[in-house]
Structure 1
Amino acid sequence: MSRSKVRNILLLKQIHSAVTHIKKGKLDKALETLDKAEDSARKAKATDAVYYILFMRGGIYYTESKYDEALETYEKALDAGLELLKNDPENTNYQHYMGTTLSNTGNLLKRKGENPQAAEYYVRARETYENLLAKEPENAVFRSAAGENLNNYAALLTDMGSFEQACEVLSQAIELYEKLLEEKPENLGYQAELAVALSRLGNCLVQQGPEKSDTAKQSLEKALTMQENIFNQQPEDATIKDAIALTRERLEKLETMKIQEKPESLENLENSENQEKQENLEEQETLENPEKLKQEKPETLENLENPENSEKPEKL
């Protein structure tokens, strides 16, 4: 067996071992194994393996809240991905890896509070997945990843106060996940992502003014129904519990806003009714007392009845 084949076999075993450690939650062991795997990959000049190793390492750092290390690792992964695409620009797997890495980098930058930079990475990921879906519109993996990126991008836009743009992005995410759910209605992952998008859309619409409150309520109620359905099937899932609490909070906020606006509307209606009553009384009084109409005639009416009193036009 050639030396290169031995290296490749060793590399695959190291990557597999790292994945196993990650699944067991042994992240330190996984990092040690990935270091060895990267060394093997670079010796074998396997750029695709290097990219995958860097991607996994960045994910571990992110999980451990080591954001600076994660960001540095993802930047190296992006460099490796660009090299791969330079040699094979039509490779959809490489494009998918790049899209995911770009989106994850956006998540990291958002977490670090670097919002403008995060937006740039989300946009790049969005463009990557738009290109991928133009080639493979039925690919469920690409559609799901695209929807997740749009969800995260919309959350950033909402934080930045760009509510109209956030609603537009969320509408795209909702369209993607609704179609995915039509194909696999029992997929809880699709349900969860769709519910997140609907809840965020409802919140986003609330921020745009009371005229959109009915549409916002429909979106929030739909999200809550889906989230409660997921909870019934996964009652121990802390993430769905938090999602339900957030959606309920948004609904309560919407109802509070409606209550605060209601007295003002009732007051305006009451004033309008009082004004109408007063006008009716005055009209009735005038009909009963014609002399009052004569006393309150406007000056212009008197001039029409007495032409002599009207002002003469100036001579030209």
Structure 2
Amino acid sequence: MELANFYQVMPGKNCGICGYGSCNTFARYVLFRKEDLKKCVWLSSTDIPDLTDVRPARTRVEENALIQPCITDSEMVMAEIYLAPREVDYGYLDPGFCEFLYVYPDFESVKCSQSLGIARIEHEGKEILISQTGKVIVRQAKTEEDAFACCDLVRRIVSGAVICSCLVTALEAVSGMCTCECGVESPSKQEKEIYASFEQFELSVLDAFTDTKRLLDMDINPLKMKAVNLLANNEGGLILYALAHHLSSIRDAAASATQQKRIDDINFMQEAMKGIKISKDRPIPTYLKKDSDSFSRELYKAAFHARCIQEIKNRFFT
């Protein structure tokens, strides 16, 4: 089984109950730090594969790119470039890099497979292939400089999905989920200016907790798009994207919970969320981790990501 396939075994809930910021990060800790897979409350014993059968995704470090004429057009350039700064067995990018690519509005076409760990992009007449191992192939570039500029653009856009040395992504590092400083910088001027619009999104989500249709219709993509545009232009964006990511997770958890519970329970969820957001130090109730009821698990997920938002606010916007 390839590492990309093992990621697909995970439930994709990203609830935080296991103690990690995402199912993919938990999977890396299971494989490379011997974490117990049974910590996942969503997996049954029949879902657990033979871990010795999982093959690593080894990165390759090459300082010099391969540049040569395209086979189909000798006047065009093909470049093969490796982004990884070090050789590791867990790859360069988390499968979540697909989402960053889909949100960027200037790509003509994006096809990205998390199960294969590879994406194909069409941009300004060029074909770009990027692998989770950090290998980038640019075809039909006009010049060598054009190929490198295209590669740099893609590298900036997916920077939030880069896997840090502590196995979390740069996005999770920004959210305070590890001690390494991978991808952690102060917010840019542009991020600070857009921050007010994030707070309006946040209030809208809380206000819509009792309205399932309104929650499902809520579009957080414009905020993600702003963040990815900042990343593409090298003007920050990762902190803003992290906020939007956690807010989207809260919305999904709330929408799932409101479809299965009475209005009294939903009101409890809303009040619990407000209480957790007021105090960073207030613990998330332990019973929510252990309760097998889906509503409790969704509440824990919403609370977990609300705490991540609070952590980002405390670190960067206070």
**Which of the pair has the greater relative contact order for Cα pairs under 8 Å at 6+ separation?**
2
Considering fraction of residues, name the structure with more helix: 1
Considering fraction of residues, name the structure with more strand: 2
TM interval, short-chain normalised: under 0.3
Structure showing greater radius of gyration is 1
What's the TM-score once normalised by structure 2's chain length? Answer: 0.27
